[in-house]
Amino acid sequence: MSEAVVNFKNVTKSYPSYYHLTGGIKTFIFHIYSSIHELYQRRLVLEDLSFDIYKGESFGFIGRNGAGKSTLLGLIAGVLQPDKGKVAVHDRVSPLLELGAGFHPELTGRENIMLNGVLLGLTRVEVQEHFQEIIDFSELQDFIDQPVRTYSSGMYAKLGFSVVATLKPEILLVDEILSVGDLAFVRKCDERFQKFRGDPNVTIVLVSHALETITKVCDRAAWIENKRIRIIGPAKDVVKEYFNANQPKFTVPDAIHPTPPHVCWGGTSLLDCTRGPAKLSLRLNGGTADLHLRATLIHWADGTPICEWSVVPQTVLLSYASNDWTLAAQPETGNLSPISLPREDLGPFRPDNAAGSLALRLRGELHGEPCTPDVWIAVAEREAARQAWDRHRGEILLRLGRPPLPHAPFWPAGVTVRVVARTIEPRDTVGNFAVGVAGMLTACGIPARLYAYQSCAALVGIVSSIGDLLETIQPQDVIFYHYFSEDEFLPQILGLPCKKLLYFHNVPPSDCFRDDNPAFADALDRSRAQFPLFFAFDGVLANSRYSLSAVEQYFQAAPLRDVCPPCVDSYRLARLTPAPVELPAGNFLLWVGRLVPLQRPELALEIFQALSEQMPDIHFVMVGGGGQDFPHCGQKVDSAIKALPAGIHARLLVYESLSDAQLAFLYRRARLLLCTSVHEEFCLSVLEARTFGLPVATCGAQAARKQLDTGSALSLPATPREAANAIAAKLTNTRRSPSVAVPAADDTTVASLLEGLFTLLRAEPRKPVAG
């Protein structure tokens, strides 16, 4: 082991108590007895500390504000003396505490270099040897003979860092890592700091509240709490213990369902078999020992299977050679060769198929029956396929993320934003926004990853398993978590060692679903039982002011409580080149939504039927998916359609799914958008219609009305016939306005999200809250 260059032995340090002594003579006299008593009182800061710091290591101190971390640096620097015990320092100390401390404002930069060097313990000759190097490093050649009182704060800090960084420190004391000057100089400072870390003759002692910095920079660390060292050891272990101990404490409501089983695979987005076997760590979390994994290789474009394997959770290698696929178990110990697993062939492999068309589908099975959602991983067997998957990922993320966007130059290195939702589907408001946020961050140069319990094949290579989030998260990362209904994973997510931002999409009232889907209504009730857990988040954004009011009580002390629409680019569809779809001849109403009770598609059909009696030439186009999620609601819509008179039925056109370009075509051609949602705090179709200048008629959705301008909005009466009368009058007396001008950029949401994330990074972690 290296020699100890700093030795603390039974060190105790205290400060005088100055409460009544700093209020002036009147305060002193008014509190005469307590003031005299206070003269003999001292506040204990450190008590009986003993530890060693060894030559060449990087050592960090962590703890709450006021724990005594800066006092420790003062004791090492010699500017403070212990009350008891002994502090031994065996090398020259160079403090990097306040840059430029000791500079005389009337002296020139050149004179202050000499003064500072001597204060650091060097001789004039030693300082003179490095004089030009200091000036060159500081980049202040044109100002070095000017008094430092004429320097800007950035120039002042540059000169201070250059002196310390150039004069060969032996023990470098750092109170927080400082960003000095412009970006180019910051990079130069970071390179010099990394050089110190690699020098076996330089010992670094660092105090920082940035846990990721301690983990990245330090070899060992000590956690200071209650005047003593609570734990000392490898920096990564100390930081983990500190963070876990300071996580908010909460009680999981009994009504919340246990975590369902789910597949994890290590989070890789692409299995690249172009240069050899691709490694995959398969796991099943939250299940029983009877669970097995089924891995199926498919042609992604048409979903046809090629082959599959049934395996127990383990590390496997996927290989491709001579048009043949192999999955082999990799032994965890010894130098044993991989063991090929039995394969069942299901269909031909088409090696001449379009590049980027293979995917591996994973699912958990119990007694041969699926018991987890399917998860998907992109597979590349040749370079063209790998490039195609990279393009696919970029197209999905950047299409929804709306580039070009300004780069975020001050985003901390090594910090990844983990965008999380229980379900991420591409045709859902929550899913679109989650993918859009990840794309927006990527376009801004901020590392971002997507995680979900349930996703789909369309997002292969983009969304990872939520189980991989639980295993790969780092303390410096930020979780951007989307909440819209009961999430069994929420308690686990709240225990992860990083800052967390909640995006609240609102939980609709359960009564809207009680008849159609009682199980979902019960889940909504359980969702509200989870609201007290929101205390553990560091901040909240909501899709509307109304939604924010539902959870604001849990964020009274949070640094971030704001409203942000769940749409990265509201003009995204308006910018697209429309793709024609089959349309009826003449005028038509448009309804866009999901076939769920909340959006009342059957009411839209009743209004259309009543309107048809007044306007025989009107048509109705419905774009609605999701019927499989609420079969009872879907059946009611089918029955309502079949019950329409033949003449009215002929004027109805229903699309289950359309591309964005096709939807843009409908928005451009429709006469009016009909919104029948009973309770929706943010209505995406209303916002999209507004960007096309399309008039909107809405009933029952207060938030939808707030998104409209009064000139084009129509608030409908409660009954279908009265609503039809209002729509008929609107269509008869007004013409559709010309399309609105589409701005080059709509950065409202982007600015709100970036500001929120930076606010979260700068803020102190929220204090634990008892459950």
Q: Which stretches of 523-596 are assigned E, i.e. beta strand? A: 539-542, 560-563, 588-594
Question: How far is the CA of 214 from the CAs of 227, 228, 682, 760, in angstroms?
Answer: 20, 19, 42, 19
Q: Please indicate, yes or no, whether residues 361 and 502 belong to a single structural domain of this protein.
A: no
In a domain, 742, yes or no: no
Amino acid 769: pLDDT:
46
In a domain, 314, yes or no: yes
DSSP state string for 94-134? EEESSTTTT--TTSBHHHHHHHHHHHTT--HHHHHHTHHHH
Query: Of 184, 215, 245, which closes a domain?
Result: 245
Q: Please indicate, yes or no, whether residues 237 and 275 belong to a single structural domain of this protein.
A: no
Q: Please indicate, yes or no, whether residues 303 and 452 belong to a single structural domain of this protein.
A: no
Q: Please indicate, yes or no, whether residues 189 and 290 belong to a single structural domain of this protein.
A: no
What is the spatial distance between Cα 113 and Cα 141, in angstroms, rounded to a whole number? 13
Helix axes 601-614, 631-642, angle to 10 degrees: 10
CATH number for 591: 3.40.50.2000
Q: Do 228 and 208 meet the contact criterion of CB atoms below 8 Å apart?
A: no
186-195: which pairs have CB atoms within 8 A and are 24 or more residues apart? 188/137, 189/161, 189/165, 192/137, 192/165, 193/165
Q: Please indicate, yes or no, whether residues 85 and 143 belong to a single structural domain of this protein.
A: yes
Query: At residue 11, what are phi and psi to the nearest 5 degrees?
Result: -85, 130
Domain with 511, as residue range(s), is 387-563
CATH number for 457: 3.40.50
Amino acid 261: pLDDT:
78
Amino acid 771: pLDDT:
40
Q: Please indicate, yes or no, whether residues 641 and 702 belong to a single structural domain of this protein.
A: yes
Residues of the chain with pLDDT under 50: 20, 250-253, 255-256, 354-355, 703-705, 707, 709-710, 768-771
Q: Do 703 and 678 meet the contact criterion of CB atoms below 8 Å apart?
A: no
Which residue's structure tokens are 């069942």?
344
In a domain, 767, yes or no: no
CATH number for 199: 3.40.50.300
What is the spatial distance between Cα 636 and Cα 318, in angstroms, rounded to a whole number? 47
Amino acid 703: pLDDT:
45
Query: For residues 570-585, b (16+ Cβ closer than 10 Å) or e, as one string?
Result: bbbbbebebeebeeee
In a domain, 759, yes or no: no
Of 251, 247, 320, 307, residue with least CA distance to 538: 247
In a domain, 323, yes or no: yes
Tokens of 120: 């650091």
In a domain, 254, yes or no: no
In a domain, 257, yes or no: no
3-state secondary structure 180-200: CCCHHHHHHHHHHHHHHHCCC
3-state SS assignment for residue 264: strand
CATH number for 343: 2.60.40
Amino acid 29: pLDDT:
64
Q: Please indicate, yes or no, whether residues 397 and 516 belong to a single structural domain of this protein.
A: yes
Query: Of 326, 356, 380, which closes a domain?
Result: 380
Q: Please indicate, yes or no, whether residues 344 and 398 belong to a single structural domain of this protein.
A: no
Q: Please indicate, yes or no, whether residues 286 and 217 belong to a single structural domain of this protein.
A: no
Amino acid 126: pLDDT:
82
Q: Please indicate, yes or no, whether residues 413 and 464 belong to a single structural domain of this protein.
A: yes
Q: Please indicate, yes or no, whether residues 197 and 270 belong to a single structural domain of this protein.
A: no
What is the spatial distance between Cα 313 and Cα 484, in angstroms, rounded to a whole number? 31
Q: Is 536 exposed, middle or buried (0-12, 13-18, 19+ CB in 10 A)?
A: buried
Query: Of 338, 357, 380, which closes a domain?
Result: 380
Q: Please indicate, yes or no, whether residues 369 and 507 belong to a single structural domain of this protein.
A: no
The answer for residues whose C-beta is within 8 angstroms of residue 392's C-beta and 6 or more apart is: 356, 378, 461
In a domain, 255, yes or no: no
Number of domains the chain contains: 4
Q: Do 258 and 79 meet the contact criterion of CB atoms below 8 Å apart?
A: no
Question: How far is the CA of 398 from the CAs of 423, 437, 650, 745, in angstroms?
Answer: 20, 10, 40, 14
